[in-house]
């Protein structure tokens, strides 16, 4: 009798766990946004601000070597590329040039956030403008190779549900909710 009770209880528990897991999976799929961008209104003297919500696999990063002359050989530019819902690439850059190790350190901090979550929120700066002259393509692995279609935006911050990383103290303003 007792054994049968336990068996019934276990069966119930299994089906409940299955139901909960299915529910979580479904809600997770529904709530995950491929790409969403919202412009934040600020003082007209300041940069335009944009909050982007996207899946973390739609973001890739690199440190570009600028190959300058003479004593300027250290210059690298941190770049991030975001794939929007139309499979157009939005390029994002760090506001100043960095030495390679500093650029890689920055990239590593962003990577930590991208690896530990499926959805991220970014605060980006500057005007969101199409770049009709760009021919450059970026490879997003299993999501394919896609063309850059916009002018560079400037990196401010990136957040997962648990953690934020950014350089928002560089500016007098930042996106609402982003740590300073």
Partner 1 sequence: MGKKSSATRKTRVRAHPRRVTQSQKNPSGVTVVDEHSRRLPGTYLDEKEIYKIANGYSLKKVPYPSSNSLDRPDENKYNDLIGMWTDYFNSLFAIKPPLDPDMIKALIGSESDFKTNPKNPIAIGIAQITKETHRIVQDPKGEVKDFIFTKISQKDLKNPDIAIPVAIRWLAHKKSLAEKKLGRTANHEDIILEYKGLLKSKTLYKGNAFERYREFYGKLKK
Which residues sit at the interface with partner 1, rule CB under 8 A? Answer: 45-47, 64-75, 77, 79, 93, 95-99, 101-102, 152, 169-173
* CA 173 from centroid of its chain's CA atoms: 20
Q: How far is the CB of 149 from partner 1 (least distance, A)?
A: 16
CB closer to partner 1, 25 vs 96 = 96
Cβ neighbours around 108 below 10 Å, total: 11
CB closer to partner 1, 140 vs 152 = 152
Q: How far is the CB of 162 from partner 1 (least distance, A)?
A: 25
* Three-state secondary structure of 54-85: EEHHHEEEEEEECCCCHHHCCCEEEEEEEECC
Q: How far is the CB of 171 from partner 1 (least distance, A)?
A: 5
Gyration radius (Cα) of the chain, Å: 21
Pairing of β 89-93 and β 153-159: parallel
Q: How far is the CB of 115 from partner 1 (least distance, A)?
A: 23
42 burial level (CB within 10 Å; 0-12, 13-18, 19+): middle
CB closer to partner 1, 47 vs 110 = 47
CB closer to partner 1, 165 vs 171 = 171
């Amino acid at each position: 009798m007792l054994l049968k009770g336990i068996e019934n209880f276990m069966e119930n528990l299994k089906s409940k766990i299955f139901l909960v897991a299915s529910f979580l999976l479904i809600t997770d799929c529904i709530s995950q946004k491929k790409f969403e961008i919202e412009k934040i209104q600020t003082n007209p003297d300041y940069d335009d601000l944009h909050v982007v919500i996207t899946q973390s696999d739609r973001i890739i990063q690199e440190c570009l070597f600028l190959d300058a002359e003479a004593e300027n050989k250290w210059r690298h530019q941190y770049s991030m590329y975001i794939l929007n819902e139309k499979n157009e690439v939005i390029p994002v850059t760090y506001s100043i040039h960095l030495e390679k190790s500093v650029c890689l350190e920055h990239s590593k901090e962003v990577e930590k956030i991208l690896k530990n979550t499926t959805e991220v929120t970014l605060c980006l700066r500057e005007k969101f403008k199409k770049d009709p002259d760009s021919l450059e393509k970026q490879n997003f692995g299993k999501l394919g190779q896609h063309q850059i279609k916009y002018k560079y935006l400037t990196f401010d911050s990136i957040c997962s549900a648990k953690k934020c990383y950014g350089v928002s103290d560089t500016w007098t303003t930042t996106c609402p909710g982003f740590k300073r």
